[in-house]
Amino acid sequence: MVQKVNFNNLTGDTLTVGNTVITGTGVTVSGSPLSGGSGGATQYANTSQLPKQDLTFGEFALIGNTLFITNGVGWYSVALINQSPSLSISVSDISLGTDGNTIDFTYTATDPDGPEPTVSVELIGANSAQANVTLYTANSTVTVENLSATDYSANIVLTATDGIDQTFGTVTLNVSYFSAVWPETVLSIGTSSTDGLGNITFIDRSTNAHPASTSGTPIQTAFHPYLDSWSNQFDSSSRLTWTGTGTIGTGDFTAEAWVKFSDLTADWRTIICQRAGAAAGGDQWVLGVHKTGYLYWYSTALHLTSSAGLITLDQWYHVAVSRSGTNMYLFIDGVLVHSVTNSHNLTYGNIIINANDNGTEAGNCFISNARLTIG
């Protein structure tokens, strides 16, 4: 705001300008501020209305979005430049909440010629309403919560504005949920539909995408112990028995199963065994788990054990004992946990699942795909 101030006699009255106090007599203030509100500039419709005389150096005028200043003789236009704000999103900092239902990421918004811009956020997508998005300006964080869709997809759009210009940033969010056992998954294999659903093509659909090759003619099916209701549930009074008999001999064999234990309170827990009615001349045997969590194989002439603590409650494991040539191997989830040289003669008869021959060593568990393979 510009005014003309005349001082007649500098005694008596006072005039305060900012932090300066001027004392005088007959201090008068003449002229009037250029109208135009707090901006301190008079607004005119066009340049022809600009004053041509009695101009005071430093006065302002505004026509549309153009600012003019006078040097007391004529008018000069002043360019009004507003630089756009900048917005960056820290995609590398995207994090998933511990409950698996919250996603956070941060952003940075600045304005090169003004204060921090105003930032807003919105979700755009077919199922964007199936989540809540919140913008926390205090720590420049965006939180997406309550992802109710099984396969959630949406675009999160951030807008930074200084009141004139605005800048946008977008994060495309795609969420898919895996099963609860996904952290323990080492290899994920699916079948391809390009071969007429013949289950011939093996594909690693994990993020590793390792190539899969076959030897012989393996066949994959849609059944595995992670499917609902596709395993046998046992308690301490239940078991399965197969009464056929035969001889393993001294050759190759594998005894295996998928297991998940609900308790391990008993000292010994049988998974699969041949403990009674054996054919003459062969050792009896058992594959089981001890309450301390080690896998064991026991036969009349041989005892193999893994380290303790490898088997825990409420986890699916693939366990196996295998002999190839004269070497015996013990496996948990395909990992070798013990090996020894052995060529004892073995037999099979009265194969029992989840108990030994007198009904003990049984408990609460799930067993799937228990199998004895000879050869």
Q: How far apart are the first and last CA of the chain?
A: 101
Range with the lowest mean pLDDT among 75-84, 109-118, 174-183, 273-282?
Answer: 273-282
How confident is the model over 229-251, as pLDDT tens digits?
Answer: 567 788 888 888 776 677 788 88
Q: At residue 186, does pLDDT exceed 70? A: no
Q: In this structure, are 369 and 310 located in the same domain? A: yes
Q: If you ran DSSP here, which 8-state letter would residue 293 be given?
A: S
**Closest to 246 in 3D by CA, of 82, 87, 100, 375:** 375
- Higher-scoring residue by pLDDT: 290, 190: 290
- Higher-scoring residue by pLDDT: 18, 146: 146
Q: At residue 260, does pLDDT exceed 70? A: yes
Q: In this structure, are 366 and 308 located in the same domain? A: yes
Report the DSSP pairing between strands 285-290 and 232-234: unpaired
Q: Pick from 83-92, 103-112, 189-198, 359-368 the range whose average pLDDT is largest.
A: 103-112
Tell whether 226 is covered by a domain.
no
Give the integer Cα–Cα distance in Å for 95 and 258. 34
How confident is the model over 287-334, as pLDDT tens digits?
Answer: 999 989 899 998 877 788 888 889 999 999 999 999 999 899 999 999
β-sheet bridge partners, residue 320: 256, 331
Tell whether 130 is covered by a domain.
yes
CATH number, position 312: 2.60.120.200
Tell whether 224 is covered by a domain.
no
Report the DSSP pairing between strands 60-63 and 42-43: parallel
Range with the lowest mean pLDDT among 16-20, 30-34, 79-83, 208-212?
Answer: 30-34
Dihedral of alpha carbons 274, 276, 279, 284, sign: positive
Q: In this structure, are 96 and 149 located in the same domain? A: yes
pLDDT score at 229? 57
By percentage, how much of the chain surpasses pLDDT 70? 65
Mean pLDDT calculated for residue range 159-169: 88
Q: pTM of the entire structure? A: 0.42
pLDDT score at 285? 85
Which range marks the domain in which residue 320 is found? 232-374
Q: At residue 138, does pLDDT exceed 50? A: yes
Q: In this structure, are 90 and 128 located in the same domain? A: yes
- Structurally, the chain folds into a number of domains equal to 4
Q: Please, which residues have CB within 8 angstroms of residue 292's CB and are 6 or more apart in sequence?
A: 308, 309
Tell whether 10 is covered by a domain.
yes
pLDDT score at 264? 87
pLDDT score at 318? 94
Q: In this structure, are 237 and 256 located in the same domain? A: yes
Q: Pick from 23-32, 101-110, 174-183, 274-283 the range whose average pLDDT is largest.
A: 101-110
Q: In this structure, are 169 and 236 located in the same domain? A: no
Q: In this structure, are 347 and 245 located in the same domain? A: yes
Q: At residue 174, does pLDDT exceed 80? A: no
Tell whether 330 is covered by a domain.
yes
Q: At residue 183, does pLDDT exceed 90? A: no
Mean pLDDT calculated for residue range 38-59: 83
The mean pLDDT value of the chain amounts to 76
Q: Two tokens at 333?
A: 């989830």
Mean pLDDT calculated for residue range 274-284: 58
Q: In this structure, are 63 and 94 located in the same domain? A: no
- Higher-scoring residue by pLDDT: 37, 191: 191
pLDDT score at 196? 47
3-state secondary structure at position 272: strand
Picking from 78, 107, 138, the residue at the C-terminal end of a domain is: 78
**Spatial contact of 212 and 202, defined as CB atoms under 8 Å apart:** yes
Q: At residue 252, does pLDDT exceed 80? A: yes
pLDDT score at 373? 87
**Spatial contact of 13 and 26, defined as CB atoms under 8 Å apart:** yes
Tell whether 208 is covered by a domain.
yes
How many residues are there in the chain? Answer: 375
